[in-house]
Structure 1
Amino acid sequence: MMTIYLIRHSITEGNRWKRYIGRTDEPLCRQGVKLLEGRTYPRVDKVYASPMKRCLQTAGIIYPDMRPMVIEELAECDFGLFENKNYQELSGYPYYQQWVDSNGTLPFPQGESKEAFTKRSLKGFDKVLEDMRETQEEKAALIVHGGTIMSIMDAYACPKGSYFEFQVGNGEGYELVITNDLPGTDGICAGSDPGRSQVALSSGADDRTADYNIRKNYKKLPAQI
């Protein structure tokens, strides 16, 4: 069984102005550094991170004595023409309104589609799981992006939720429990890919759903950790 903490990087200047920050490689702003001061995050055996400065800087503050293993596929979505712009700047752009009306299902113009981004994110997460199995690590932290967390949780969280239900604030995230040796099928999310790791029942989580007959395998990390 593996416990993985999915933690979103702290605040950047682009985040402060509610911009779409994907490929823009900006560092944390002063407010972002201050946000992490005094916080204590769960102890882990290993740290994995997106290659972006904001994630590496967050990892260095949260886990100063650990060198993160960089996973390229865990980088944020390519927002294309929306990159480094906010709602006000995009409000007169017809394709932006079409994208909003589609509930984010349309691809970003000259950027990634949700499907391509999710596929890439899960490929990166598979690398994390494979490395944890090889090194026999039981607890790890992923310092990544909001979109990356949503993609992973959408695929692995039980009971199933929708993609946008898993949004988290800067410096926040989820604890996710995973195993690949569950007996039978009890505890595996309905509709999960049989080729993927099976999902364990989280200790201390006892709420079930009639549709899936499973217990939750995740919990949200508190805003003030």
Structure 2
Amino acid sequence: MAKYQIYLIRHGRTWFNRYNKMQGWSDTPLAPDGVEIAKKAAVALKDVDFSAAFSSDARRAIDTCKLIVDENMNKDKLNPTKLMEFREQFYGYFEGMNSPEAWFMVGQPHGAKGFSDIIDKYDLNATKDFMKEADPFHDAENAEEYWTRINRGFDAIDKIAKDGDKILLVSHGTTIRSITDRYSDGQFDVTDSPRNSSLTMLERDNGKNLVTSYNQMII
């Protein structure tokens, strides 16, 4: 085990982000403005001495990671690696649906009008459990399934990380928000989604996580 830092970056803005659609395991490319903001984040991070670079296996995360690595001081040594464990939450039946409509359908049986209302009345894990319950196929991930997957991802990074490492990890809005909610002792308002290409900092010390900053715009 080691003590190291993870630079959690949300991917650049995609077409589904633009249209406010549910984008979990489904994938759309970076929109032109998403490419540009990812490039600006890459410039802001170019002097960070990354020892490794990871992304989820979604194209939007892979492309954002490559833009950042190509600008980095260590670009000749970094070999970006895909970790499916850091995919976005899987929304099952609700993939691709209009987001406010989907979250109303998920929350309404529990007296909640949408995503933020579910968090206010219950918690962030409830958004996952309620979504699996509302999915007529029950394919969506519940909280237990989701965290089992995420924990496998951290275990995979532990296998290569050394003391003092700085590690790039490009992931997704709900995943970054969920990690922040779970590992920040309530320091941050997770009703606000991390913005595209924003930075969230996580310290991992011998298998224990602490989020030290959330949703920083670095451009």
In structure 2, distance between residues paired with 1:119 and 1:106: 18
| Equivalent position SS for 2:35 | helix
Q: CA deviation at 1:94?
A: 4.4
Change beyond 3 A, Cα 1:30–1:128: same
Pair 1:97-2:93 in alignment = no
Residue identity in the other structure for 1:45: S
Among 154, 162, 181, which residue is 1:154 paired with?
A: 181
Pair 1:222-2:179 in alignment = no
Q: CA deviation at 1:69?
A: 1.4
Pair 1:171-2:197 in alignment = yes
> Which residue of structure 2 aligns with residue 191 of structure 1?
none
> Which residue of structure 2 aligns with residue 57 of structure 1?
63
Change beyond 3 A, Cα 1:199–1:115: closer
TM-score by length of 2: 0.74
Stretches of structure 1 that go unaligned for 5 or more consecutive residues are 181-196, 201-216
Change beyond 3 A, Cα 1:114–1:97: same
| Equivalent position SS for 1:219 | strand
Q: Percent identity?
A: 25
> Which residue of structure 1 aligns with residue 19 of structure 2?
17
| Greater helix fraction, Structure 1 or Structure 2 | 2
Residue identity in the other structure for 1:98: P
Residue identity in the other structure for 1:153: T
TM-score by length of 1: 0.72
Residue identity in the other structure for 1:147: T
| Higher RCO, Cα 8 Å, sep 6+ | 2
Stretches of structure 2 that go unaligned for 5 or more consecutive residues are 113-117, 120-126
> Which residue of structure 2 aligns with residue 84 of structure 1?
96
Change beyond 3 A, Cα 1:153–1:220: closer
Change beyond 3 A, Cα 1:94–1:69: closer
Pair 1:119-2:148 in alignment = yes
Among 145, 170, 184, which residue is 2:172 paired with?
A: 145
In structure 1, distance between residues paired with 2:16 and 2:90: 15
Residue identity in the other structure for 2:130: L
In structure 1, distance between residues paired with 2:215 and 2:188: 18
Residue identity in the other structure for 2:197: G
CA contact (8 A) 2:7 2:200 kept: yes
| Equivalent position SS for 1:38 | helix
| Equivalent position SS for 2:33 | helix
Q: CA deviation at 1:165?
A: 5.0
- RMSD in angstroms over aligned alpha carbons? 2.7
| Equivalent position SS for 2:12 | coil
The structure that has the greater radius of gyration is: 1
CA contact (8 A) 2:202 2:209 kept: no
Residue identity in the other structure for 1:51: D
In structure 2, distance between residues paired with 1:62 and 1:172: 12
CA contact (8 A) 1:3 1:140 kept: yes
